[in-house]
Copies of this chain bind each other. A is one copy, B any other.
Amino acid sequence: MSNLDAKIEGTDLDDLVGYNLKRAYIVVQDDYKRAMGPDGMSARVFTALSLTHAYPNITQSELARRMGIERSGLVAIVDALETRGYLRRAPVPGDRRVQALVPTEAGRHAYQAAINTVRAHEAQLLTTLSRAEQAQLLSLLRKIRKGETG
């Protein structure tokens, strides 16, 4: 690119995918928190609850693996969900080391309410993107996620 192609505005950072990913994520995260309210589930607690619905009787080790965090970090998350009464640690016949994570009735209701809130927050936040653009964005982000370790 020659010096004649002057930039309208923007710094080196504004051309970096990593920087824009981080800043865009902060915008979405802040709006998520606003939408969920002061007593709402944190993103990681919501994620864990979602995966216990997607994968019934998932174990903690498997859930940690799918979330991309360590087993040790999952303990507090599961504790939080158990305290809210949204799931329970259930013994698994045949292997007493393992505990299956089972959503309660309250957990299923809370999850449905939460996923509706999250979808509404994203729909409202992303109104400046057309449906096609939103689909394109998801597609591109998933391509980057192909490089996920684990």
Task: State which of B13, B68, B125, B142 has its C-beta within 8 Å of the C-beta of A50.
Answer: B13
Which residues from B are CB-within-8-Å of A51? 11, 13
B27 touching A144 by the CB < 8 A rule?
Answer: yes
A28 touching B23 by the CB < 8 A rule?
Answer: no
Q: What CA separation (Å) do A68 and B20 show in the bound complex?
A: 13
Total identical chains: 2
Q: What CA separation (Å) do A35 and B29 show in the bound complex?
A: 27
Q: A11-B54, A17-B138, A128-B146 are in contact. List 12 more A-B contacts (CB 8 A).
A: A11-B50, A11-B51, A12-B54, A15-B138, A16-B119, A17-B122, A17-B134, A24-B142, A26-B148, A30-B149, A31-B147, A125-B144
Interface residues of A, Cβ cutoff 8 Å to B: 11-32, 43, 47, 50-51, 53-54, 68, 115, 118-119, 122, 125-126, 128-129, 133-134, 136-138, 140-149
